[in-house]
Structure 1
Amino acid sequence: MRVVSFSLVVPYVGIPHAGGELYLRHLTVLEELGHSVTVVAPSTELNRRAADRPGAPPSLILVHPDRMRPSADAIWALARPDAIRPSMRRAFRADTAVRDAVDAADVVEAQWAEMAFALGSRHRTQGSVLVVHDIPAQREWRWLQAAWRQRSPRKLIWRSWRTAVVSVTQIPALRAADITLVLSEKDAALAARSTRASRISVIDPVIWLGSDESAREDVAKVALFVASFGRRENAEAAVWLLDDVWPLVRAEHPDAELVLAGHGPPRHLVDLAARTPGVTVTGFVDSLDPYYASARVVLVPLRSGAGVKLKTIEALVRGKRIVATSIGAEGVIDVTGSHPFAVVDDARRFARETALALRTPGGADPLITEWARARYGREQYRAALERTLSTIIAGRPPGDRIRGDSVSR
């Protein structure tokens, strides 16, 4: 089967954000299933550099924006701050290589709701899939709540506008495809408010590891927060962790260490960490494996953002103890409908759970790790993805609830 995949980013091995890593795994599974995939992405500086990295898609079309009317882009940036600019939209629709690839395709997919415009009327002869990494309106609403906590009038006005705009404009985006794939039942319920439930299917994200990650008994008192700290929700979470949580943990465990591992920490976060005892900021690292291996507990202290947090799932699959906020735990529930780890939002309780985990050697319950590796493993994703594509090609009514190797109404 020939697939054209529209994306915001060009994925590669080591891409420093979770959405790009998930997309890379998605493309890998498509190729393992024998499908031919052409990726279409904007020709940004980051994407041009990514095209030469190991693991970048071998069949790739980079689209250069139409620069003829910059004023339209400037107006659009105010009216639709979340959306792809008109110059880039025109370029996607006018690019001959893109048109030829789409005309030859069996299925056209778009990654991220922002790319849903690519699933326009000219693609209706092909089946179409939209993969939504998070629900845009929920993301904007939580950024608005963060602005309210900061008591910033300028941010409140700007984020109020963004929230209002995105709440309206996400409706046509989520209706653009034959099937919209979301990564959790929680996101399915949110998406159903904007489009018919019959268009929505749930597919669990896929996590796989390069080696066995059995928990070690002899690790030191190390807490780990993994994130792309260039994203504001991650940086804000780290600041909350350092200001309100970590001093309480250190009061109980003076020898405890906190590692903030990930790309792009802003200057103010680096400076704050330098003033906080027991904290290390790594910046970008080639592999997170040694950091996970040396950690006794993984922290997910997010207070804004949307979608399933892949960092939480990865820690589960690696057999780690986890302490998360309710936002950090969203969409991750076990067969009983409960979170299989500690979930707290109050700073004192978060510190208490972290201190408890640091006192306890070893990893998570092996049964939880086994469950996580089955639910978020490669085989379930292969089965779910193949069933999605088969459903579209066969012309069956969209809307079957897709999970693993089963389909139900």
Structure 2
Amino acid sequence: MHRTLALIPYVPHPPFGGGDQRVHHVLTALAGAGELVVWALSRHLDQPDGWPLAARFAERPRVFSHGAPGAASEPAPPLTGLFNQPFPTWPGRVRADYSHALWAALERLDLGGFSAVHVESLGMIPYGVALRARHPRLRLTLNVDNIDPVYAWQALRVAPRWFSRPTYWAVRNIAQLFRFSRRWFPAFDAVWVCSGTDRRWVLRWTNQRRVVVVPNGMDCAMFSDLDPAPDCPRLVMTGTMMEGPNSDGMAWFADRVWPEVLRAVPGAEFWCVGRDPCPPVLEAAQRHPGITVTGSVPDVRPYLARAAVSVAPVRYGTGTRLKILEAMAAGLPVVSTRLGADGLGFRHGRELLLADRAGDFANACIRLLTDAGARTRLGATGRRSVQKYDWKAIYQTISSLAAAGAERAPGARAPV
């Protein structure tokens, strides 16, 4: 049985957000495909004692603190010298995941029994590349839930602040992200991405057909017994509401879309369900009547069950949106921007409604709130279509990739 070392930027427990859930389920599949050893970073030295998945690993997960080179009490370990790129030129996203303690532990680690190293996210790339330089026989895989340089560029385009100091630093960081990704993605034998759109971006940098689509998924059975509220004019949006695509989309929806919906459907309500609501979200809710911001909830299912329509007003971001999959599995009709539904393969008017302009988005919401037949048809079609994103099916894909990779020498082409 092959043995894999997984290097992850945090302990994904509890798995609140979509990124947490993707890491959790990828590790679940890898643990089922062979022996898995997990080393994680954590700024608070969280211990994985309450992490049920840890029982399936080959040994207890190890957790390391973050620490910048300047804060280290001793010189950086020799292993870091194998990653021959000056530290100041690394993107901030990568520098944030520097850990002197992890570098030191990797220097001492005997990798004789390992056949592969699995790396989660852009920030952990230096560790994987350094290990490959020292142990060329190791197979190297990278899993990303976002294409970071594209994500950062889209965020700047949505809210540009030209000729300002923040914009200067944002553009500088974007350039660093593009250079870093283009330089180091080709070092991996396989790169796992969420969608075909993300795959096309990575292929521009690598010029190698090593990029594999491993879609985000969810547990359809958890939502199978839910039914949408029959005559309740309530819209719902789920997701982590800290600064980012969700908070931007929620504020845009509240200011540009919600007033039109409320004029057409006076008794309508909009629920924003998710942890860590940032000031723009709270302020948007205060500006308009009928909006409820719940903050953190233990389970989104009761809120989906009490809604008539789910919305995903996402204006920037890469990867795929878990909120759309969960709503469809619950039988809810979905209104989304095209970017929000990008990579999922759902069709406008068949599985969901797509709209990018505020007026079109409002009309789609109004149509579903006032037409029970359209809600039922769209919800039923979406529920059937989302079954292909059940994690049980995706586990088989990951297990097959891991098994096939263990049989190939490093540098061989990954399956597409």
| TM superposition score normalised by structure 2 | 0.85
Which residue number in structure 1 is paired with residue 115 of structure 2? Answer: 106
Pick one of 194, 197, 214 that aligns with 1:203. 214
Partners in 1 of 2:348 and 2:241 — Cα distance?
30
Pair 1:178-2:189 in alignment: yes
Partners in 2 of 1:118 and 1:208 — Cα distance?
32
Change (3 A) 1:217 1:293: closer
The 3-state SS of whatever aligns with 1:358 is helix
Q: CA deviation at 1:61?
A: 1.1
Q: Contact (CA 8 Å) 1:77, 1:85: kept in 2 or not?
A: no
Pick one of 76, 93, 102 that aligns with 2:103. 93
Map Cα deviations across residues 62-112 of structure 1 (whole Å, 9 max, x no partner): 123456624999x95686222135852x43232159724x44323211111
The 3-state SS of whatever aligns with 1:4 is strand
Which residue number in structure 2 is paired with residue 41 of structure 1? Answer: 40
Change (3 A) 1:282 1:152: farther
The 3-state SS of whatever aligns with 2:235 is strand
Partners in 2 of 1:357 and 1:285 — Cα distance?
26
Map Cα deviations across residues 202-236 of structure 1 (whole Å, 9 max, x no partner): 12222114252443352511111112111322211
Which residue number in structure 1 is paired with residue 81 of structure 2? Answer: none
Q: Sequence identity of aligned pairs in percent?
A: 21
The 3-state SS of whatever aligns with 2:54 is coil
Which residue number in structure 2 is paired with residue 163 of structure 1? Answer: 174
Change (3 A) 1:152 1:230: farther
Pair 1:382-2:412 in alignment: no
Map Cα deviations across residues 121-165 of structure 1 (whole Å, 9 max, x no partner): 2353222211111112211111220232x5672332222112111
Which residue number in structure 2 is paired with residue 16 of structure 1? Answer: 16
Pick one of 192, 196, 202 that aligns with 1:191. 202
The 3-state SS of whatever aligns with 1:57 is helix
Pair 1:358-2:369 in alignment: yes
Q: CA deviation at 1:12?
A: 1.5
Partners in 2 of 1:337 and 1:260 — Cα distance?
24
Change (3 A) 1:296 1:337: closer
Amino acid at match of 1:55: P
The 3-state SS of whatever aligns with 1:198 is coil
Q: CA deviation at 1:372?
A: 1.4
Partners in 1 of 2:176 and 2:106 — Cα distance?
32
Q: Contact (CA 8 Å) 1:93, 1:99: kept in 2 or not?
A: no
Map Cα deviations across residues 320-356 of structure 1 (whole Å, 9 max, x no partner): 211111221110114x799831111111111111111
Q: CA deviation at 1:34?
A: 4.9
The 3-state SS of whatever aligns with 2:212 is strand
Which residue number in structure 2 is paired with residue 305 of structure 1? Answer: 317
Partners in 2 of 1:255 and 1:230 — Cα distance?
28
Partners in 2 of 1:137 and 1:187 — Cα distance?
11
| TM superposition score normalised by structure 1 | 0.87
Gaps in structure 1 of 5+ consecutive residues: 402-409
Pick one of 245, 263, 273 that aligns with 1:233. 245
Gaps in structure 2 of 5+ consecutive residues: 77-85
Amino acid at match of 1:172: R
Amino acid at match of 1:393: A
Q: CA deviation at 1:392?
A: 0.9
Which residue number in structure 2 is paired with residue 119 of structure 1? Answer: 128
Q: Contact (CA 8 Å) 2:9, 2:42: kept in 1 or not?
A: no
Partners in 1 of 2:120 and 2:169 — Cα distance?
26
Q: CA deviation at 1:52?
A: 4.0
Amino acid at match of 2:214: I
Partners in 2 of 1:42 and 1:243 — Cα distance?
39
Provide the aligned length of Structure 1 versus Structure 2. 391
Of residues 299-308 and 152-161 in structure 1, the stretch that sits farther from structure 2 once superposed is 152-161
Q: Contact (CA 8 Å) 1:2, 1:36: kept in 2 or not?
A: yes
Partners in 1 of 2:5 and 2:90 — Cα distance?
29
